[in-house]
Amino acid sequence: MVLICLGESGGCHVEKHILSIHAHPDDAETLAGGTLALLASQGHRITIATMTAGDCGAVETGPEETANIRKREAATAAAVIGAASACVGFPDLGIFNNDPSRRSVVEFIRSMKPDVILTSAPADYHPDHEATSLLVRDACFAVSVPNYHTGDARPLEEIPHLYFMDPIEGRDREGNAVPPQFGVNVEAVMDAKRRMLLAHESQRDWVKRQHGIDNYADAMESWTRSRGGHFGVAYAEGFRQYTSHPYPRSRLLQELAGRHLLSPNAYRE
C-alpha cells in the first residue's frame, strides 16, 4: 500500500491503480485523457491499455509496421502523464465476444490487479468499441471466479469498479444522445490531454481519410468542450458507472475526482 500526501492542506490517500481499456491507441486519450491526467497528477498509478495495436489504421504501411508504429505512439502518449502502456493483443477489427477472447481479457485484468477500470461505451460507432465494452464488462465478472482458469495470473479478490467512457461525440450508432451519469472537469489538464493525443502522429492522415476529420486534435477539443457545456464548464469528460449485481456500487472514481467531479444534477442537454 502506498500513501499519497498532497501537501499541507491536500490530505493523504491510498494510491489506486486505474486501468483504462479501450479498443485502439488514441481512443482513451480522446475520451478520458483528461481524467487520467488528473488522477496521475494526484499520484495514482495509471495504465492505458488497448485491445488492439490499431494495425488497420493506416494506408501506406502494412499491418505489422502499423502496429509497431502505433504501439510506440501509445507509449509516448502514456508517458506524457507518467502512465504505463499495454496492448492485450487482438487484431484490429477482430474483437469478438467469445470464450477464448473473454479468457484473454480476464487473464489481462488479473495480471494488472486494477482498482478501477475505465472502458468503452456499450453503444458506439465502431464494432471494436462495442465488443471491447462487452468483453471488459463480462471479464470483470469473471476475474474473481477461482474455477475460471485463464493462465498464470491469480484470480482477484474482488471485482474492480467499472466505468464506461462516453461514446465518440456522446452519441450511439443511430445518433441518439448518450447522457453521462456524471462528469469530470478537465479544464486544468487540457494541455496534457492534447499532447497525449498529438503523440498519435500516424493518425492525422488516417482520420482525415477514414472519418473526414481534418484535425483530429481540434475535433477532440471540440467534443470535450461540448461535454463541458452540458455541465456548465469549459471542458469535461463523461462517465457511467456499471453497478449491476455483483459489481461494486461505491463511488470510487467519483471520490477520486474530488473537486473536479461534476454532479449529474448539473447536466443539461
CATH number of the domain within which 159 lies:
3.40.50.10320
pLDDT at 204 over 80: no
What mean pLDDT comes out for the span 91-118?
Answer: 98
Output Rg (C-alpha) for the chain, integer angstroms: 18
C-alpha cell at 6: 498532497
Average pLDDT of the segment spanning 75-80: 98
pLDDT tens for each residue of 134-173: 999 999 999 999 999 999 999 999 999 999 999 999 999 9
CA dihedral 129, 131, 134, 137 (to 10 degrees): -60
Residue 6 lies in a domain: no
Q: In this structure, is residue 10 part of a structural domain?
A: no
Band (pLDDT 50/70/90 cuts) for residue 3 is: low
CA–CA separation, 207 vs 54, rounded Å? 12
Confidence bin at 8 (pLDDT 50/70/90): very low
Residue 64 pLDDT > 80, yes or no? Answer: yes
The answer as to whether 228 is a domain residue is yes
What pTM value is reported for the model? 0.93
Count the alpha carbons within 13 Å of 21 in the hemisphere toward its beta carbon: 29
Confidence of residue 267 (pLDDT cuts 50, 70, 90): confident
Q: Which domain holds residue 82?
A: 17-266
Whether residue 101 lies inside any domain: the answer is yes
Q: What percent of the chain has pLDDT over 70?
A: 94
Query: Has residue 1 been placed in a domain?
Result: no
d(CA 235, CA 184): 9
Tell whether 62 is covered by a domain.
yes
Contact 84, 48 (CB under 8 A): yes
Task: Break the chain down into helix, strand, coil percent, rounded to 5.
Answer: 40, 20, 40
Whether residue 5 lies inside any domain: the answer is no
Higher pLDDT, 269 or 43: 43
| Residue 4 confidence (pLDDT) | 60
In a domain, 241, yes or no: yes
User: What pLDDT shows up at residue 5?
Assistant: 54
Number of domains in the chain: 1
pLDDT band at 6 (very low <50, low <70, confident <90, very high): low
